[in-house]
Structure 1
Amino acid sequence: MNKKALKRIIALVFIIFFIIIVILNVITPSKDFSEQENRMLEQRPKFSVKSLLKGDFTKKYEKYISDQFAFRDFWVELKSNCDKLMGKKESNDVYLGKDDYLLEKFKNPQDKDIEDRVKALNKLDNESKELKKYVIIAPTSVEINSDKLPRYVVEPSQKDVISEFEDGLNKDIEFVDIYNKLKSKNDEYIYYKTDHHWTTDGAYYAYEELSKYMGFTATPKSKFEKMKVTDEFLGSLYSKGNFRNVEADDINLYKYKNRQDENIKVEYTLEDKKSESLYEMKNLEKKDKYTVFQDGNHPLVKITTESDEDRKLIILKDSYANSFVPFLIEHFSEIYMVDLRYYKEDLSKLIEENEIGEMLMLYNANTYFQDMSVKNIKY
């Protein structure tokens, strides 16, 4: 066979392949949600002359084609495998580290970003002196597990950023230093390998440190039953980084040996929803299995316990708090979890009407220095 004939055959095969792909894209129904990527997919945009002339229609249609491409999950996995074979170690701000750890880049804040958050929290403190305040800014896995980073990668220091933030706070705000504790435990499974959260073990060590500042005795591990509820968790960084063929994570729950979930009342106040458990076990069947903890993020969650302690706590939080809160039920009679990203009600009214005496702000460093809601906090 001569070269000319071979070129014709290759061209014909390519044309046939292209036609098949086009037909498949036409006949394949659009999906609303990608389980693999854990996100909503772009839908077919509505056409209008105005959107076409502005360029909006073209941009949205390109995103739609990309999201709804036939056998998208297959192509994503194929690309991931090729990248891995070629030694690629970074994708979409996620590093593929040693031992298949996926590590999310830390977005180093500007000095003004830190200053704005210091001012906002100090202002809140000045307006609510009767409220005792504690702050935990949790370093993320890329900082604590820096030994897992690919060679030649240098990440900005979260420790320096957190220290600069701490130095600016009013003196009566208790800053809870958990950095050294977590760093000393980095040989343990304290962060998920495929997700940006700390594990229940990591949350427990932070709880131990908090107890020293809040004046209660941390419940020892011996009083908990550690239950593995899944070994198939592929988390947010698996979805974001598109690195495939990595080991799935375990999710463990620490359940009090002498306490039944039925003794706890959980109210999703703004959603008219109630539960008798801190855990939504049915969510273990979903892609985002971390939502087993309080069914994920909600504007306001009120937890009523049977604790003998006459203490009420409000937690301003991101999702790091979800696996942390179960450790607190022995120490507070009522716990209010407020996610400022979704809570738009009067914070001072909530605190005053429920006679809440203590506040904990708990965020991971990446979220805290990027999220606008903490900068705009109002009392």
Structure 2
Amino acid sequence: MNRYDKLSQSVVAILFLSLIGLVLVLNLILPKREFSEAENRKLEQFPTYSFHSFISGKFTSNFEKFITDQFVVKDVWIGIKSNADQAIGKKESNGVYLGKDGYLIQKFAVMKKGALEEKIQSINAFHTVTPELNKYVILAPTAVSVIQSKLPKYVSENRELDALHTVKTSLNPSIRYVDVYPALSSHQNESIYYKTDHHWTSKGAYYAYQQLGNWMGYKPMKEEEFEIRTVTEDFYGSLYSKSGFRNLHSDSIDLYVPKNEGKVTVDYVEEQQSANSMYAMDNVKKKDKYTVFFNGNHSLIQLKTSHREGKKLLVVKDSYANSFVPFLTSHFSEIYMVDLRYYEGDVAALARQHQIHDMLILYNMNTFIEDPSINYLANEEG
């Protein structure tokens, strides 16, 4: 190796190490972002430390998410990779398939060994210490299982359905598992999932609401009893942002508003704020338009309705519930929505405090697999 080659290698090494050093310094000194425009979601903030959160593992888990989310120039690398993938005709980018008819479909989450069983055990353990709560579980299958006809031809995906079957057969028999896959599958040719976002649409949530009625005993409202309001036709969702795929049609967001609409009061408990509507209409002008439902995710939301029967419901949920819960306000006087990703309280104590007898656990299957917060459900008791 001649002197020139050695000098060139030294320069490259110095530049590379300088770049790494610059990235590390920027990660330390730059202000932490609250929202990612590229991924269209809130970013993890530095977690609140407590002895309980440390012992339960919640602090460590949230700290890892914080480091991943706040890594500087992350969005730039995602964009570069997506453009390169699209240029060579790839049908997959950053965990998202480019499907038929402009559908972006999220890959099913990679399951760590034993992770699913741990979550099932947590729910069963919580049931053991709260036998007075009638429990219902909806794990919503995602588009990758329900609208497989839209997937690229080379993709064959059955892992999500296998995981759903495992949950269904492993939960305590006293817990009512509400299987919404058949109902969604029978309507797969309708717009039950957004094309550019990972959520089900209001129509998809409506079909799940009908199915839950068969288990809870309420009579679902007919679709014609709702005024279906299109609040935006310019929604580019999380998968559009995450994948980097472009030149796709936008989605519409519809609200199912009962024609005989009753009064609903919404209390955002931790924020100490109240609203007279479940819909944050100003948010349809923002990037993350799905937050029109309940202004996004919150640790605890309390709903009070004009329903007279006095029934109360506790919902432990992810964002799929945000477009689902409005249907339930016609059947319950009070609904408490708990997002374990942010809620630090004791769920069992909350149910006892408000004399709640019915509980719904509602997640989409990807979040259920990936997010560890459901594991802390039983840990809260005692």
TM-score normalised by structure 1 residue count: 0.81
Which residue is equivalent to 1:48?
none
Which residue is equivalent to 1:26?
none
Q: What residue ranges of structure 2 are gaps of 5+ in the alignment?
A: 1-29, 44-66
Which residue is equivalent to 1:212?
214
Q: Report the more deviating stretch, 115-124 or 104-113.
A: 104-113
Is the Cα contact below 8 Å between 1:36 and 1:287 reproduced in 2?
no
Which residue is equivalent to 1:368?
368
Deviation, 1:195, is 0.4
Which residue is equivalent to 1:236?
238
Which residue is equivalent to 2:277?
277
- Give the distance between the partners of 1:289 and 1:311, measured in 2 at CA: 31
Amino acid in structure 2 at the alignment position of 1:121: I
Which residue is equivalent to 1:329?
329
Is the Cα contact below 8 Å between 2:294 and 2:322 reproduced in 1?
yes
Which residue is equivalent to 1:100?
102
- Give the distance between the partners of 1:37 and 1:197, measured in 2 at CA: 14
Deviation, 1:317, is 0.2
Amino acid in structure 2 at the alignment position of 1:255: V
Is the Cα contact below 8 Å between 2:38 and 2:242 reproduced in 1?
no
Which residue is equivalent to 2:127?
125
Amino acid in structure 1 at the alignment position of 2:271: E
Which residue is equivalent to 1:12?
none
TM-score normalised by structure 2 residue count: 0.80
Q: What do the CA deviations read for 1:185-225 (whole angstroms, capped 9, x no partner)?
A: 10000000000000000000000000000001001111100
Q: How does 1:165-204 map to 2 (within 5 A)?
A: 165-204=167-206
Deviation, 1:38, is 2.6
Which residue is equivalent to 2:257?
255
| Identical positions, percent | 48
Q: What do the CA deviations read for 1:167-200 (whole angstroms, capped 9, x no partner)?
A: 1111110000101111111000000000000000
Question: Is 2:232 the counterpart of 1:227?
Answer: no
Is the Cα contact below 8 Å between 1:81 and 1:244 reproduced in 2?
no
Amino acid in structure 1 at the alignment position of 2:169: D
Is the Cα contact below 8 Å between 2:41 and 2:288 reproduced in 1?
no
Q: Report the more deviating stretch, 210-219 or 106-115.
A: 106-115
Q: What do the CA deviations read for 1:334-354 (whole angstroms, capped 9, x no partner)?
A: 000000110001212211110
Deviation, 1:84, is 3.4
- Give the distance between the partners of 2:141 and 2:106, measured in 1 at CA: 12
Is the Cα contact below 8 Å between 1:108 and 1:156 reproduced in 2?
no
- Give the distance between the partners of 2:334 and 2:209, measured in 1 at CA: 17
Larger Cα Rg: Structure 1 or Structure 2? Answer: 1
Residues 1:171 and 1:273: Cα distance change in structure 2 (over 3 Å)? same
Which residue is equivalent to 2:266?
266
Q: Report the more deviating stretch, 303-312 or 273-282.
A: 303-312
- Give the distance between the partners of 1:292 and 1:222, measured in 2 at CA: 23
- Give the distance between the partners of 1:370 and 1:104, measured in 2 at CA: 13
- Give the distance between the partners of 1:98 and 1:185, measured in 2 at CA: 17
Question: What is the alpha-carbon root mean square deviation over aligned residues?
Answer: 2.5
Amino acid in structure 2 at the alignment position of 1:276: N
Deviation, 1:81, is 6.0
Is the Cα contact below 8 Å between 1:95 and 1:105 reproduced in 2?
yes
Deviation, 1:165, is 1.0
Q: How many residues align?
A: 326
Is the Cα contact below 8 Å between 2:142 and 2:366 reproduced in 1?
yes
Deviation, 1:85, is 4.8
Residues 1:65 and 1:230: Cα distance change in structure 2 (over 3 Å)? closer
Deviation, 1:82, is 6.1
1:216 is paired with a residue of what secondary structure? Answer: coil
Q: What residue ranges of structure 1 are gaps of 5+ in the alignment?
A: 1-28, 42-58
Amino acid in structure 2 at the alignment position of 1:253: L
- Give the distance between the partners of 1:160 and 1:326, measured in 2 at CA: 30
- Give the distance between the partners of 1:31 and 1:110, measured in 2 at CA: 29
Amino acid in structure 2 at the alignment position of 1:88: K
